[in-house]
Chain A
Amino acid sequence: DAKTTQPPSMDCAEGRAANLPCNHSTISGNEYVYWYRQIHSQGPQYIIHGLKNNETNEMASLIITEDRKSSTLILPHATLRDTAVYYCIVPLSGNTPLVFGKGTRLSVIA
């Protein structure tokens, strides 16, 4: 798996966009970037994934730089329920084991 680096924590005001960065400078050409989050001690929740094009779904947007060495997860209007630990993961392929780091602890503040 490509190693990923994320800031340990971030704060975001409720209603504002939360931009969570991730560095994955050793990513190879066919490896996808996946984002998960874990709210309290619930199971990790899949958010979004992408290869090189920007992606958007009902939960978030994923912006991947042209050189693919970094990406940003965007929660467009953060709510208190988005408070969680967010993980950026680059596995060898979709069915290989996910390696969870420490992630970014996002605190959404009222």
Chain B
Amino acid sequence: EPEVTQTPSHQVTQMGQEVILRCVPISNHLYFYWYRQILGQKVEFLVSFYNNEISEKSEIFDDQFSVERPDGSNFTLKIRSTKLEDSAMYFCASSDTGWRTSLDQPQHFGDGTRLSIL
């Protein structure tokens, strides 16, 4: 069964450094998302991406964050200057919602990247 894959599984970075988290969504999906989960807390939405642009973002997704789909398969989340509070699990998701399909297609998640900021 197709799945969303994320790399690396664990990333350790010094505070202030840039980090890029990578995701390969399910191949025919059109909508892409990033969520994060701070240890012991709820899963929180960061950003959604469709047709090569951000379609929605949360208050968490400030100027330090950016997303990109550099080619036909990868979807990346960049944090420009990491802070201690960016330490969390970051989940990528994708869905098949679009003009070809009905609007109720579910989002499918990867297993996440654990980001640890020192």
Could you list which residues of chain A lie within 8 angstroms of chain B, going by C-beta atoms? 32, 34, 38, 41-46, 49, 51, 93-102
With A97-B45, A97-B48, A100-B42 as given contacts, are A44 and B109 in contact (CB-CB < 8 Å)? yes
Question: Is A34 touching B106 in the complex (CB atoms < 8 A)?
Answer: yes
In the assembled complex, the Cα of A9 lies from the Cα of B106 at a distance in Å of 25
For B98-118 the 0/1 string (1 means CB < 8 A from A) is: 000011111111111010000
Partner of A41, one of B4, B89, B95, B107: B89
- Is the pair A98, B104 in contact by a Cβ cutoff of 8 Å? no
Instruction: Considering the complex, give the chain A residue whose CB is closest to the CB of B50.
Output: A95
Partner of B91, one of A43, A49, A97: A43
Contact between A102 and B45 (Cβ–Cβ < 8 Å)?
no
Kindly state whether residue B33 has any CB partner on chain A within 8 Å.
yes
A43 touching B105 in the complex, CB below 8 Å, given contacts A97-B58, A100-B43: no
Q: How far is the CA of A34 from the CA of B55 in the complex (A)?
A: 21
Contact status A95-B48, CB under 8 Å: yes
Which residues on B sit within 8 Å (CB–CB) of A32? 104
- Cα-based distance from A35 to B104 in the complex (angstroms): 13
B13 touches A (CB below 8 Å): no
Interface residues of B in 46-100 (CB under 8 A from A): 48, 50, 55-56, 58, 89, 91, 93, 95, 97
Q: Does the CB pair A46–B108 fall under 8 Å?
A: yes
Residues of B contacting A42 in the complex (Cβ-Cβ under 8 angstroms): 111-112
Q: Which residue of B lies closest to A103 (CB)?
A: B42
How distant is the Cα of A44 from the Cα of B93 in the complex, in angstroms?
9
4 closest pairs, A vs B, by CB?
A: A43-B109, A97-B45, A95-B97, A100-B43
Query: Bound complex: CA of A49 vs CA of B96, how far in Å?
Result: 15
Q: How far is the CB of A32 from chain B (nearest CB, A)?
A: 5
* B43 in contact with A51 (CB, 8 Å): no
A94 adjacent to B95 (CB under 8 Å): yes
Residues of A within 8 A of B102 (CB): 94
Pair B97/A45 contact, Cβ less than 8 Å: no
Nearest-CB distance from A99 to chain B (Å)? Answer: 7
